[in-house]
Amino acid sequence: MLKKIFNQEGFLWKGLNLLTDIIFLSTIWFFLCLLIIPIGPATTALYDAVVHGIRRKEPVVYPRFIKTFKTEFKTAFLSGLLWGILIVVCVLTVRYLLALGEASRSAFAAGIAYYIVLIVPLGSACWVFPILSRFTFDFSSLNKTALRFTFAYLPRTLILVLMTIEVLQWSLNYIFPFFFMPAVTMLLWSLFIEPVFEKYEENQL
């Protein structure tokens, strides 16, 4: 019994390897994101490594992360900058309108409308890095595709956005989730994103 448990092909070792990969990938992503600039490339690499190394159990977790990070750095950085600026602008606008809404009903209504509009940059940001990790696009085509996916798969987009917001709030409140939730979040993202990608990959065959 013990021999089976401690066998490197047994469930215990596989579980420990999985946990180690989740923690290491999340920690690498977290420290890269502290530098701000690599947020886009790090997220692209994280999604790619999680899907191939954890979801598909391919023995390429860390080499894949490094390769994707380097290869897609420029496009991922520019895309992250684009959607990051749009998200910040939308959030600041919402806060301003809601503050005015205390004295004006029309401003409050506008604030609520902006909350709805905020789904567009947030949703596109959730799609853009996974798309880049899987398909070859230039900057313009990539972001147009992410925007199209946001509306074409709106229910999935809403789930991705709400899931990400909840994870981010939890992580900011307690800090320690940053050391495992990034990889877990990518794994959860993949449940809704991969079925979409599979359809496009089948069409390319």
State residue 10's pLDDT score: 56
User: Measured between alpha carbons, how far is 38 from 179 in angstroms, rounded to an integer?
Assistant: 17
Task: Supply the Cα-derived Rg of the chain in whole angstroms.
Answer: 19
State residue 205's pLDDT score: 41
State residue 116's pLDDT score: 77
> How would residue 99 be classed by pLDDT, with cut points 50, 70 and 90?
confident
pTM (two decimals) = 0.88
The answer to the question of residue 4 being in a domain is: no
State residue 13's pLDDT score: 67
The answer to the question of residue 6 being in a domain is: no
Task: Give the total number of structural domains in the chain.
Answer: 1
Residue with tokens 């602008």: 89
The answer to the question of residue 14 being in a domain is: no
The answer to the question of residue 49 being in a domain is: yes
> Own/partner pairs for 173-176, CB < 8 Å, 24+ apart?
none
The answer to the question of residue 176 being in a domain is: yes
User: Measured between alpha carbons, how far is 109 from 7 in angstroms, rounded to an integer?
Assistant: 61
The answer to the question of residue 172 being in a domain is: yes
The answer to the question of residue 3 being in a domain is: no
State residue 4's pLDDT score: 52
